[in-house]
Amino acid sequence: RVSVADANRAPEASAPAAVPAPAAPAAADFPGASTSSPLKGVRKVVAKRMMESLTTTAQLTLNTSANAAGILALRKKVKNADEALGLNKITLNDLVCFAVSRTLLKYPVFNAHLEDGVLTEFEQVHLGFACDTPRGLLVPVICSAQSLGLKAFSDEAKRLAGGAIDGTLPPDYLGGGTFTVSNIGSFGIETFTPVINLPQTAILGVGAITPRPALAPDGTVGIEQRLNLSLTIDHQVIDGADGARFLRDLVAAIENIDVTVLA
């Protein structure tokens, strides 16, 4: 037993020794190194035009896909053709753009400009195509694209792209487009929302070709290679149903590309 006297004679318990706080870590390098520079050149122009496009138009994007079997077969055929024919350099993008140039003839409101409330529809298709260059995004224009045969169409596209990339393309070939195609499918992008190139009323985005399950007539399931398409329209002058009809006809032109190039 512990008596009161024992408790009084016991030494006072000593307080536990204080544990020193860990040293604070050195101040972090926040936010770290950085550089600042004003937008200039092509980048500044693109930034201004993209903002104008998104703030002055009513943009709506519709997505679909086309069976790529026909276009892949034709691309393979021309790639393996006699070099003397000059068809070997025709690309999938050439074939898609060629189909676009023919489909636009049936849809004048897509091949048009909208400026200050005035809609101008064009008889000829002046087809722009987005081109990634060392200076930034440029859009060369194939003038009167609807009048060119496939080889001439492809040759002109190569000439314009080459000039845009090496900086020798005259400015006259970078304006006046009535419709634009933007193809980033080679990067594996399936669908995206292309921004209308003012003052045009629509733009087509071309995505990657991807495998999709498909039901055959006999009920079996197979695999189809599908080409992804994204169409942005200005809803001020183009209704969603018209956009759907345009895509329907474009899909038919792509899926039957061997007939389209003969028309």
What pLDDT is attached to residue 139? 97
- Residues forming the active site: 235, 239
Both structure tokens of 47? 């930034």
Round the CA-based radius of gyration of the chain to a whole number and report it.
31
Residues of the chain with pLDDT under 50: none
How does pLDDT run across 66-110, given as a tens digit for each residue?
999 999 999 999 999 888 888 899 999 999 999 999 999 999 999
The model's pTM is 0.86
What pLDDT is attached to residue 84? 80
Q: How far apart (Å, rounded) are the C-alpha atoms in residues 163 and 169?
A: 4
Give the up-direction half-sphere exposure of residue 172: CA atoms within 13 A in the CB hemisphere: 2
Provide CB contacts within 8 A for 38, sequence distance 6+: 44
What pLDDT is attached to residue 12? 57
Burial of 117 (C-beta count, 10 Å sphere; 0-12/13-18/19+): exposed
The DSSP bridge pattern shows strands 59-67 and 221-234 to be antiparallel
Helices H / strands E in the chain, number of each:
7, 10
Longest dimension (CA), the chain: 119
Strand partners, 185: none
